[in-house]
Amino acid sequence: MQLSVIILNYNVRFFLEQCVFSVQKALENIDGEIIVIDNNSSDDSCAMMKERFPTIKLIQNEENSGFPKGNNIGAEQAKGEYLCILNPDTVVAEDTFVKILNSKIQIPSAKIGIIGCKLIDGTGNFLPEAKRGVPTPWVAFTKIFSLYKIFPKSSFFTKYYAEHITENQSGKADILVGAFMLMKRSLYNEVGGFDEECFMYSDDIDLSYMVLKSGKINYYFHETSVIHYKGESTIRDGLYMKRFREAMQFFYKKHFKKSVVFDLMMQVGSFLFSVMKKNQQNNEKVKIDEFIVFSTDNLSLNLKGKTTYFSNLSQFKNNYTKNLEVIFDTSSFSFKEIIAFMETHKNKNITYKNFIRASNFCIGSNNSNNRGEVIQM
């Protein structure tokens, strides 16, 4: 078997359904498998999986064992030569895995570590955390105090987001994000998988760094884009702040020499950073002036407002000044076409939703700092 896609779920039933649907389509020309691990969700995620995807392997944990342990449980069951760690709040294009597995990366194959890809949010905007540098004390300092924004042209200050390459350039990137990580299963096992001492948040940084320490090179691949809605399994409350600080302190204690001054700086810095992340969350709803629905069928959605239907994506002209909600019928268009449209037409006045016909709901996210939205039709 060539590829095992591991999806760890916690209380995101609708995002999980869309994710698995997209992965199924992306594996049509690959000898692969999907493994879903559920961390004791209180919603009907497991019931949905059994009804909608009865042939897919589902592992039901009796407790929320955290991101590292949950993924390690899935990896133990995997049969593929390669693993892809994938968040449930993602959507992959039909050719995502084929492109990566068949790509001619300019690194000796024996040296390739983790491969990441271009990630966009629910409005089509690039997510900079798709490629990062090792958060050494200095690099973390430049991030926490936003020095990379003040000195955007200086390589001395822009290492956190690996700005030696742009979002549209493939190249070496030391740290990749846990929303999408593709690597050889043998390498995953060699470095011990995710460190289960870390409940969440710095686990992808730690795994990336462990792979680097093993002598491999991590790589950002820009030629395929994946939607990552972000934050679906996390509410940014006091517990979020506590776990984020603990995660960053875990990474530094594990990999860097202990220093009282540095430890104090990191405690203050991680606290400020977690407060900043919490304050970024804004759940104000945008008032939609008009809906645009793309479908090749005679689809009729009961939307509250002016609605225009198009049967072809090229019919859309990005000259609207009002707030638009664009809805894609995923039975009419491929995820690759949808993702390309979102990247081409990203605009502060446009939000996007995907209509999943099999379960009759629309799903999407209007902001990378907010939780997404599910509209049951």
pLDDT at position 143 is 74
pLDDT: is 304 or 212 the higher one? 212
Give pLDDT, residue 18. 98
Q: pLDDT band at residue 245, thresholds of 50, 70 and 90?
A: low
| Average pLDDT across the chain, whole number | 89
Q: Which of 27-36, 258-267, 285-294, 334-343 has the lowest mean pLDDT?
A: 258-267
Local confidence band at 249 (pLDDT 50, 70, 90 cut-offs): confident
pLDDT at 240: 60
For position 41, what pLDDT does the model report? 97
| Three-class secondary structure assignment of the chain | CCEEEEEEECCCHHHHHHHHHHHHHHCCCCCEEEEEEECCCCCCHHHHHHHHCCCCEEEECCCCCHHHHHHHHHHHHCCCCEEEEECCCEECCCCHHHHHHCCCCCCCHHHEEEEEEEEECCCCCECHHHCECCCCHHHHHHHHCCHHHHCCCCCCCCCCCCCCCCCCCCEECCECCCCEEEEEHHHHHHCCCCCCCCCCCCHHHHHHHHHHHCCCEEEEEEEEEEEECCCCCCCCCHHHHHHHHHHHHHHHHHHCCCCHHHHHHHHHHHHHHHHHHHHHCCCCCCCCCEEEEECCCCCCCCCCCCEEEECCHHHCCCCCCCCEEEEEECCCCCHHHHHHHHHHCCCCCEEEEEEECCCCEEEECCCCCCCCEEEEC
Please tell me the predicted confidence (pLDDT) of residue 283. 58
